[in-house]
Chains A and B, each alone.
Chain A
Amino acid sequence: MQLPDAEQLAGTLAEQIRPLLDDGAALVGIHSGGAWLAQRIRDLCGADVALGMLDISLYRDDFSRIGLHPQIKPSHIPFDVENRHIVLVDDVLYTGRTIRAAMNELYDYGRPARVTLAVLVDRGGRELPIEAQVVGACLPLTPQQNLQLLRDEGGKLSLKLYEGA
């Protein structure tokens, strides 16, 4: 399957997000792929945009089945969430469970004025009523396929598709 170029897609996503940032919105990336993307979008949209990162491990809905993730990163929201427009950024939107967890965590920092969801790829397969407002590309995949965003040492982004569960 021909995968879209992640670098190019990140550029398109940034163009779509840029006008949304006029109201003082903050970018919040979801660890790890979404955090890389949010960083990239800020680099493209201007250094004065507030940037945060969420690791949703403490809010996952499958903790009682699989336990705690072996490598949690501290979430880092260095600004006031209260009454602020938050642009939540993730790499791949699938079941919607990660976004549910991220919104729950975000609310523990304060009550945002508005939350917009921006994703690089929407791969379908939703299990919750969650949709992205900004989408880089739609790429329907089967449950056996696993799409991941990678970042090499030079900071270059790429998409990789793993076949088979």
Chain B
Amino acid sequence: MNNPQLTKNGELKHLLSIEGLPRAILNHILDTAESFVGVAEREVKKVPLLRGKTVCNIFFENSTRTRTTFEIAAKRLSADVINLNVNTSSQSKGETILDTVDNLIAMHADMFVVRHSQSGAAHLIARHVAPHIHVINAGDGRHAHPTQGLLDVFTIRRYKPEMHNLRVAIVGDVLHSRVARSEIHALTTLGVPEVRVIGPQTLLPQDVERLGVQVYHDMRAGLKDVDVVMMLRLQNERMNGALLPSAQEYFKCFGLTPEKLALARPDAIVMHPGPMNRGVEIDSAVADGAQSVILPQVTYGIAVRMAVMSILAGNTE
């Protein structure tokens, strides 16, 4: 099958989704990221790989945090970086996505990092651009957020190197979460034997078992003996609809408290993609506690994005 992310030789040229990528490519990204962890700890936190290249962060949906990490990653690779928040500029004047992209290509952009509220936006751009231009999906609708999925498995691998022997729980609003989808694909591709999703019926996709996960509606049962707890952000806009009664009620059932975390293995790590809603999906005592690796996730996110950018830039047809 033709995978739009791969060259004819099976090398990664765009990163649009983890779904459909072979384990060897995921491992190559994670192994390469190890080299970039060290770069950030040096006197000069830069390598010359993308010197002379221009990376465009096009964000059709706001996300200061994700955009910042991509910007730092590109700058540490010595690329020039342009940030565009399109919802605030030309889109409001009626320009289409592809018009925006074409304009940037006319300015000799080499790589696009795309965030959009519509699923498939990054695919659309990847199909449109010339072969020497690379596209990274930085989150599209409910579909995928592949670099977040990768940085999560990179973090897990650093703390729990025996991936084939892990029990991982993903907790919260899986239904609306592109992060959860990417995490599940990354974990199963890398051979994690047991991935659980925990959440209320209204926030889990109906056919989620088809992704190879076990479903729990009771958090206490779901957290029993897990090695990794991956919390999801509860989007505020979901609170007002019919899906949930209230933030307090949600916290009572699915918020991660020290008492619930105690049901997991004693050396379990706690993750969150940020930004956190303290007191809604996670208790501050856990977020700031000894088992939390939430800030290392941020640090590793830069190394993983540097790895993805340098691998893509080197794979041109």
Q: List chain A positions with a Cβ less than 8 A from chain B.
A: 55, 57-59, 63-64, 66-68, 70-76, 81-82, 104-105, 107-110
- Whether the Cβ atoms of A109 and B42 lie closer than 8 Å is yes
Closest A-B pairs by Cβ, 4 of them: A67-B314, A108-B44, A58-B47, A68-B314
Q: Which of B35, B46, B49, B310 contacts A75 (CB 8 A)?
A: B35
- Whether the Cβ atoms of B314 and A63 lie closer than 8 Å is yes
Query: With A58-B47, A59-B47, A108-B46 as given contacts, are A68 and B310 in contact (CB-CB < 8 Å)?
Result: yes
CA distance A48 to B116 in the complex (A): 55
B95 within 8 A of A: no
- Whether the Cβ atoms of B35 and A74 lie closer than 8 Å is yes
12 contacts between A and B (CB under 8 A): A58-B310, A63-B313, A67-B313, A68-B49, A68-B310, A68-B313, A72-B32, A76-B38, A82-B43, A108-B44, A108-B46, A109-B44
Residues of A within 8 A of B46 (CB): 108
CA distance A109 to B46 in the complex (A): 10
Query: How far does the Cβ of A71 sit from chain B's closest Cβ, in whole Å?
Result: 7
CA distance A109 to B39 in the complex (A): 9
Residues of B within 8 A of A68 (CB): 32, 49, 310-311, 313-314
- Whether the Cβ atoms of A74 and B37 lie closer than 8 Å is yes
Chain A facing B: main interface SS: loop
Most chain B beta-carbon contacts within 10 A, residue among A58, A66, A76, A104:
A58
Residues of A within 8 A of B310 (CB): 58, 68
- Whether the Cβ atoms of A74 and B43 lie closer than 8 Å is no
Known: A64-B314, A81-B43, A107-B44; 14 extra A-B contacts, CB below 8 A, are A55-B35, A58-B48, A58-B310, A63-B49, A63-B314, A67-B313, A68-B32, A68-B49, A70-B28, A71-B31, A72-B34, A109-B42, A109-B43, A109-B44
CA distance A66 to B315 in the complex (A): 8
Query: With A58-B47, A58-B49, A67-B315 as given contacts, are A108 and B42 in contact (CB-CB < 8 Å)?
Result: yes
Query: With A58-B49, A74-B35, A75-B35 as given contacts, are A66 and B314 in contact (CB-CB < 8 Å)?
Result: yes
Query: With A58-B39, A58-B49, A108-B46 as given contacts, are A72 and B31 in contact (CB-CB < 8 Å)?
Result: yes
Q: Which of B39, B43, B47 contacts A110 (CB 8 A)?
A: B43
Number of residues on chain B facing chain A (CB within 8 A)? 22
Chain B: CB-nearest residue to A76:
B38
From 263 to 317 in chain B, residues with beta carbon under 8 angstroms from any chain A beta carbon are 310-311, 313-316
Residues of A within 8 A of B32 (CB): 68, 72
Residues of B within 8 A of A105 (CB): 47
CA distance A139 to B290 in the complex (A): 58
Chain B: CB-nearest residue to A61:
B48
Query: How far does the Cβ of B304 sit from chain A's closest Cβ, in whole Å?
Result: 14
CA distance A138 to B48 in the complex (A): 32
CA distance A83 to B31 in the complex (A): 32
CA distance A29 to B229 in the complex (A): 40
Most chain B beta-carbon contacts within 10 A, residue among A63, A73, A110:
A63
- Whether the Cβ atoms of B47 and A74 lie closer than 8 Å is no
Residues of B within 8 A of A66 (CB): 314
- Whether the Cβ atoms of A58 and B38 lie closer than 8 Å is no
Residues of A within 8 A of B28 (CB): 70
Chain B: CB-nearest residue to A82:
B43
Query: How far does the Cβ of A56 sit from chain B's closest Cβ, in whole Å?
Result: 10
Query: How far does the Cβ of A46 sit from chain B's closest Cβ, in whole Å?
Result: 26
- Whether the Cβ atoms of B34 and A59 lie closer than 8 Å is no
- Whether the Cβ atoms of B43 and A57 lie closer than 8 Å is no
Residues of A within 8 A of B47 (CB): 58-59, 105, 108
CA distance A60 to B44 in the complex (A): 17
Query: How far does the Cβ of B78 sit from chain A's closest Cβ, in whole Å?
Result: 10
- Whether the Cβ atoms of A72 and B43 lie closer than 8 Å is no
- Whether the Cβ atoms of A59 and B43 lie closer than 8 Å is no
Residues of A within 8 A of B315 (CB): 67
Chain A: CB-nearest residue to B47:
A58
CA distance A64 to B313 in the complex (A): 8
- Whether the Cβ atoms of A59 and B48 lie closer than 8 Å is yes
Residues of B within 8 A of A81 (CB): 43
Residues of A within 8 A of B39 (CB): 58
Chain A: CB-nearest residue to B311:
A68
